[in-house]
Amino acid sequence: MSSTFDLNDIKRRMQASIASYKHDLGGLRTGRASASLLDPIQVDAYGSLMPLNQVATVTVPEPRMLSVQVWDKSMALAVDKAIRESSLGLNPQTEGQVIRIRIPELNEQRRKEMVKVAHKYAEETRVAVRHIRRDGLDLLKKLEKDGKLSEDDAARQSEQVQKATDQSVTEIDQILAAKEKEIMQV
């Protein structure tokens, strides 16, 4: 067989999509401070964009406070600017190489906006999982058409692909429900 069907590869790709989704949700703000909140921020450092965690250390000294320790003092203003200009709505206070960020209480409207973003991320992930399913089913059809797989085997494998897709979508929905509950919790 030149091209082979690997169900484990399909499951692995679906899990990678879910892992990416969890990472995206980590950047969504709840009422509590989280070091991963600043993960999506890119800093203009030394002439190129770099992830914040490559120029500073982020810690959570209090439940509603982030502390960013910039390694190179000359980068402090660039880090401050990157945090201010991010879509997170944060207002950093810079003192030398340390930047403190108070995490404000989320009002009801802001919470609902966060939930909408979480739903958008979930839908993007479901679409990615369905694309992976389609790739797998297309490969099975091709193998069957080329006579490399019997009709029964193709049907059985297709069923497995659908089962993996259903499990992935269920997992996405569970993660979304938990994140929504976390965001709406006052």
Domain termination residue (choose one: 83, 102, 121): 102
User: Is residue 158 domain-resident?
Assistant: yes
Q: For Cα atoms 85, 87, 93, give the angle at the middle one, nearest 5 degrees.
A: 50
Same structural domain for residues 20 and 88?
Answer: no
CATH code, domain with 84: 3.30.1360.40
Same structural domain for residues 57 and 41?
Answer: yes
Number of compact structural domains in the chain: 2
**Following DSSP, what letter does each residue of 140-160 receive, concatenated?**
HHHHHHTTSS-HHHHHHHHHH
Q: Whole-angstrom Cα distance, residue 183 to residue 45?
A: 32
Q: Whole-angstrom Cα distance, residue 167 to residue 11?
A: 10
Element (H, E) at 65: strand 65-70
Token pair 């389609």 is found at 134
Same structural domain for residues 125 and 153?
Answer: yes
Among 36-45, 48-57, 113-122, 172-181, the minimum mean pLDDT is found in: 36-45
Q: Whole-angstrom Cα distance, residue 72 to residue 7?
A: 47
- Model confidence pLDDT, tens digit, residues 65-80: 899 999 998 889 999 9
Give me the pLDDT at residue 1, please. 35
CATH code, domain with 156: 1.10.132.20
Task: Give the confidence band of 186 by pLDDT, cuts at 50, 70, 90.
Answer: low
Q: Whole-angstrom Cα distance, residue 29 to residue 114?
A: 7
User: Is residue 2 domain-resident?
Assistant: no
Distance from chain centroid for Cα 150: 39
Q: For Cα atoms 7, 10, 14, give the angle at the middle one, nearest 5 degrees.
A: 140
Same structural domain for residues 51 and 16?
Answer: no
Same structural domain for residues 54 and 85?
Answer: yes
Parent domain of 20: 7-25+107-184
Element (H, E) at 175: helix 151-184
- Model confidence pLDDT, tens digit, residues 24-56: 887 776 666 777 778 878 898 888 888 888 899
Residue 59 β-bridge partners:
67
Q: Is the pLDDT of residue 2 over 50?
A: no
Same structural domain for residues 180 and 112?
Answer: yes
Task: Give the confidence band of 127 by pLDDT, cuts at 50, 70, 90.
Answer: very high
Q: Is the pLDDT of residue 91 over 90?
A: no
Same structural domain for residues 141 and 172?
Answer: yes
